[in-house]
Amino acid sequence: DVKSRTQLVLMVPWLAHGHVTPYLELAKKLSKTNLFFIYFCSTPIILNSINQENLPKNIQLIEFPLPSSPLLPSHQHTTNGLPKNLLSTLIQTFGGAGSTFANILDSLCPDLLIFDGYQPWAPELASSRKIPAIDFLIIGTASVSFFYHHYLYAGKREFPFSGTFLKDYEAKQLQLTAEMNISIGPDVAFNGLEKSHEIILINTCNEIEGKYVDYLSTLSNKKVIPVGPLIREMGTTTENEENSKIIQWLDKKDESSCVYVSFGSEYFLSKEEIEEIAHSLELSELNFIWVVRLPLGEDTNIENALPKGFLDRVEGKGVIVEKWAPQARILEHPSVGGFLCHCGWNSILESLHFGVPLITMPMHLDQHTHSRMAVELGTAMEVVRDDKNGKLNKEETAKVIRNVVTEKNGGENVKAKVKEFRKKIREKREEEFDQVVNKLVDLSTKNKQTVNT
C-alpha cells in the first residue's frame, strides 16, 4: 500500500483561488517525489473547481464541509466573488470549523500538516496530536515581513527596507484592515507564523526576495524556506470558445503591442475606477485585453458600467473579457507587452515567470507592498495616484502604461529586468527543492517515530 510507504501530508488552503492554486502546485511537486501521499482538504465548492482528471494518484481530495452560517449563502463558501461584508463572516465561519477539522485529523492521521491563514485551530489541534504543523504562506515575503514587523514593533522601529514603505492613503486603508482583523479575533493574522513548527514555507524564491526571506527568518525566529515560484501548470485552464477567440485575437497583433489588464479574482472595481481605467486605456492608444468583473448582485451589464460609447470607440483595439480570462495563456503570448496589474502575489509571480513587464495599480491589502517590491526589483512601474486620497489620474495612468509597453522613458529598463528575472527563475536548480523535501521528510518521520514508540 502506497500510503504505508510514504509520509502522509494533509494540506488545507484558505478558501480562495489565489490560495488554492499555489497549494495545489506544491502538492503536485511533493507528489512527484513519490515520498509523500497528499490529502488535499477543502470545501466541496473548491474541490469541484479543481480539474481532477490530471491529478496524480497520490493526491486525494478530502471534503471539508463548512459549518453552516445563516449569514453566508452556501454557494458562496469561497472568497471569490464575495461582497466585502461577507468576507469577515466567512473568516469567522471558517474560524469555527475546529471540531470538523479535529474529526478529519483523527480519521486521516497524517504525519504532517501544511496549513494556511485564518485557521487558528489547525496548529493547536495538530500539536495536541503530536503532528508537526507547517505554515505555508502564499503572499510575498516583503509584504509578510512588512506587516509582521509592524505588528511586533508597532511604530517603535523602522522597517529596514525603504522600498516597501506605504503612502498616507494606503496606511489609512490598512488601518481599516487591521481593525477588521481585530474584530475577527486578535492575532489571527499572524497566528500561523507564530505556531508553525520549526520552519515556515513561502511561495517565493531567494532570487526575487532573498533579503526579505532572511528578515522574516530573523523576525519569526524560524527558518523561512522559499518553495516557489509555484505557477499554475499550463493545460489546467479549460479550453473553451471564448478563450480560443482571445488567443486568435492576440495572434493578429504585433509583438509586445498589447496590454493585459486584470485585477485578480477578488477585487471589484468601483464605477469611478472603471471609468478612469477605461479613459486611461483609450488615451494610451494601445491594444488591450481587460478582464472586468462586476460585483455579484449588482447590475451585471458591462456596457452600462463603461463610459458611454467606449466599446464602439475601442473596437478592434480592445477586448473586454467578462469575469475570467485565461491569464497564464495571455501572459505567455508574444503580443503582450505589459500587464496592468492589481498586484495579487500570484499575478506578480506569473509576470516574472512569463517575462511580462508590470504596470502596477495596487488596490488594497498586501498589494501595495507587493507593488513596491516589484518596483524595487526593477520589473515594474507604478501608476501614480494622489498621495493623500489615492485617486487615479487618467493622463498619468495612460503615460505609465505607454512608457512600459512602448519601452520608453525607463520602460526599456523594466523590460530588460523582467527578462533577466524570467531567465533566473527558469534556471533555478531543483536541488533547492530537494532540501525542502528532505526537511519535510525529516519532520514527518520524526513524528511517525514518536507516535509509534
Interface with ligand UDP by CB under 6 A: which residues? 17-18, 21, 232, 262, 264-267, 291, 324-325, 327-328, 344-347, 350
Place of cell 516557489: 228
- Any residues with CB less than 8 A from the CB of 136 and at least 6 apart, and which? 11, 22, 23, 26, 114, 115, 116, 200, 201, 202, 203, 227
Query: Shortest CA distance to 428 belongs to which of 352, 376, 356, 330?
Result: 352
Nearest to 135 by CA among 124, 146, 147: 124
**Cβ 222 to ligand UDP, closest distance in Å?**
24
- Kindly state the smallest distance separating residue 388's Cβ from ligand UDP, in Å: 25
- State the nearest-atom distance from the C-beta of 343 to ligand UDP, in Å: 8
Q: Is the peptide bond before 226 cis (omega within 30 degrees of 0)?
A: no
Residue number with CB closer to ligand UDP (123 or 355): 355
231-262: burial string, b at 16+ Cβ within 10 Å, e else? bbeeeebeeeeebeebeebbeebeebbbbbbb
| Catalytic residue from among 116, 279, 353, 366 | 116
Decide if 434 is catalytic. Answer: no
Beta carbon nearer to ligand UDP, 58 or 262? 262
Residue 158 beta carbon to ligand UDP: minimum distance, rounded to whole angstroms: 28
Rounded to a whole number of angstroms, the minimum distance from the CB of residue 365 to ligand UDP is: 9
Amino acid at 308: K
8 A C-beta contact, residue 131 and residue 39: no
- Using alpha carbons, select from 328, 360, 327 the residue that is nearest to residue 343: 360
Q: Catalytic: 116?
A: yes
Residue 406: Cβ within 10 Å count: 17
Q: Judged by CB, which is closer to ligand UDP: 325, or 380?
A: 325
> Which residue lies nearer to ligand UDP by CB, 346 or 444?
346
Cβ-closest position to ligand UDP:
344
CA-based nearest residue to 289, from 262, 270, 312, 309: 262
User: Where does 265-365 have alpha helices with state H?
Assistant: 271-284, 302-305, 310-313, 327-332, 345-354
Kindly tell me which of 133 and 331 has the beta carbon lying closer to ligand UDP: 331
Of the listed 17, 19, 77, 197, which one is catalytic?
19
Is the CB of 356 or the CB of 436 nearer to ligand UDP? Answer: 356
Query: In the complex, what is the shortest distance from the CB of residue 442 to ligand UDP, in angstroms, rounded to a whole number?
Result: 30
Task: Tell me the catalytic residues.
Answer: 19, 116
